[in-house]
Amino acid sequence: MKVAVFSTKPYEEAALLAFNKDFDHELVFFKEPLTKETVSLAAGYPAVCTFVNDSLDAPALKLLAEGGTKLIALRCAGHDSVDLKAASANNITVMRVPAYSPYAIAEFTLGILLAQNRKIPNAWQRVQTGDFHLNGLVGNDFHGKTVGILGTGRIGAAVARIFKLGFQCDVLANDLYPSAEMESIGVRYVDRETIFTKADVISLHCPLTKETKGLINAKTLDMMKPNVYLVNTSRGGLVDTAALADALESGRIRGAALDVYEGERALFFRKLSLDQIDDPLFKRLIKLPNFLLTGHQAFLTQEAIDAIATITLTNISNFSIGKLDKNVAVEKYS
């Protein structure tokens, strides 16, 4: 198939080209994100391939359909960037990559949490100036602490295993579909309020839906223990960022480590200077010593990149022969 690939980065293009030798699709790469402003680039392409911060709302989808597009091949698991109802109304199929490497994101989740708790970025900055004082670098053991996991799909389950089996934590979880496997290793499913009030670490691994948008807000932050760490490697919109900034500044919670950000669409996956960033909330947050942010890189391992490329190309091939028995995006949650 002829495919327009949007928001392409060099590492993605290399992987797609390498694995496409087994598929022989006609891939055309665009650095630009796919939005209603750039949708004209996709005219004449029966398939487009997009990533997490492309914006496929109803107007963009209507224009895509008018240009002849029949397939959106997502290079990610989440499909909150696509209005699925509008896609269906325009006879556009949406396919995704439901599982590539949950370990990539799970391991990164632990990485940024440990970096924040043990003040590793601060320590490295000091060492670079010849400062080896340890004042202000005191962290906490995670061994035996209570950890709350919101969402126990493949990624959340991998995180739960690390905390439960690796750190011997008391792991509490919340999911619409409790996992018998998780329960078999001692993970206990509870309501969200119990997690908010009991956990020393809260890690977010749920999809962004109408029901979960702003899940972490002023009310839920007020419920949390003052020593809690919040970790989000899922979707930025799960967190009310202004409320989080207030909680961090006031010392209401101990710290937050995020790989996603509510306003990331205007920032991430490009090189900017601070002068180019018109986001007062972002600039407020990055000055806080108890806040750590990375640029949506939790997925970024070679294993994950290769798997995403292979599954995406397979999805396109399956669509071309009418095989739609797997990886079609459906609205599972409210």
Residues 120-164 pLDDT 10s? 999 999 999 999 999 999 999 999 999 999 999 999 999 999 999
Domains present along the chain, CATH in parentheses: 2-100+301-330 (3.40.50.720), 102-293 (3.40.50.720)
Instruction: Measure Cα distances from 225 to 38, 193, 197, 222 in Å.
Output: 45, 12, 6, 8
- Per residue in 197-206, pLDDT (tens digit) is 999 999 999 9
Select from 46, 44, 38, 43 the least CA-distant residue to 7.
38
Report the C-alpha gap between 290 and 113 in whole angstroms: 11
Q: Record the tokens describing residue 329, joined without a space.
A: 């995006």
* CA dihedral of 304, 307, 312, 315, whole degrees rounded to 10: -140
Report the C-alpha gap between 316 and 307 in whole angstroms: 14
pLDDT at 334 over 80: no
Sheet with 26-29, strands from edge to edge, namely 26-29, 2-5, 47-50, 71-74, 93-95
- Per residue in 295-324, pLDDT (tens digit) is 999 999 999 999 999 999 999 999 999 999
- For residue 328, list its beta bridge partners: 95
Mean pLDDT over 110-125 rounds to 97
How high is the mean pLDDT of the chain?
Answer: 95
Which sequence positions are flagged as catalytic? 235, 264, 296
pLDDT at 279 over 80: yes
% of the chain residues with pLDDT over 70: 99
- Per residue in 38-56, pLDDT (tens digit) is 999 999 999 999 998 899 9
- Per residue in 214-268, pLDDT (tens digit) is 999 999 999 999 999 999 999 999 999 999 999 999 999 999 999 999 999 899 9
Number of H helices, E strands in the chain: 12, 12
Mean pLDDT over 89-116 rounds to 95
Residue 99 pLDDT class (50, 70, 90 cuts): confident
Report the C-alpha gap between 78 and 97 in whole angstroms: 8
Predicted local distance difference test score (pLDDT) of residue 302:
96
pTM for this entry: 0.90
Predicted local distance difference test score (pLDDT) of residue 114:
98
Predicted local distance difference test score (pLDDT) of residue 274:
93
Residue 332 pLDDT class (50, 70, 90 cuts): low
pLDDT at 18 over 80: yes
